[in-house]
Amino acid sequence: MVYLGAVALVMAFSPSTYNRTNRLATSRYIYTSTWQVLPWFTLLAALVSLVLIRVVVVTSQSYGLSRYALEMVVRVLVLELIPLTAAMFVALRAGLAFNAGDALALAAASTPARSRQAQNRLRQDLVPQVIANAFAVLSLAMVSSVIVLVLAYTSVYGFSPWGLGDYTRTVGRIFNPAVTVGFVLKTVFFGLSVAVIPSAAILEAHRYGRTSSSTVQPGAVRLLFVLLLIEAGSLAVKYI
């Protein structure tokens, strides 16, 4: 996984990767993994978040803790649940898209020509999908977080503009520089994990000739473990 991720990052930052064919492939994968699902994923996230926000606000008011409702919503939904949900959604939807079987069959050949063909195939398939999946996690998480922040304001203050001062102070106190950097890094690591781990599992299975009759996505358990490890590490850094 680490080796494949390093190779993908080096290729992603290499100018020679972005010829016309690879640029078109990258834009196509980004359109499929992000733009096609962004509206209804955002709508679904907004509906679920609205229910959770309402539950938190009503419960806080009943216990006389309404001043903590907004901070709890931002910390739980925006900082923790939204990025993790976006990562798991992209993993379930796009984790099986990378098909390395033909490229690995070419790589197994001994002739240099077929080896170069395999490398070109991996460059054309692997790098665009890694970029697209990482971009999808970032986009879905960021857009949904903005929508949730707007919903949190309307749920607590209504449509009155007089709550903007308290709202911005509360959100600004939560999103201090350290928390903001941690939030961005966690989302980036989520995106890289979703982009690399399923592809690494498929490559590993083909490389060692492993076959499985299971319908579980290759690398699903490994990906879930890594996502939970990143989330646990983020919580430990912030609250311990």
- Helix or strand or coil: residue 206? helix
Burial class (CB in 10 A: 0-12, 13-18, 19+), 15: exposed
pLDDT at 111 over 60: no
Average pLDDT value over all residues in the chain: 81
pLDDT at 214 over 60: no
Give pTM, 2 decimals.
0.81
Nearest to 76 by CA among 107, 101, 55, 102: 55
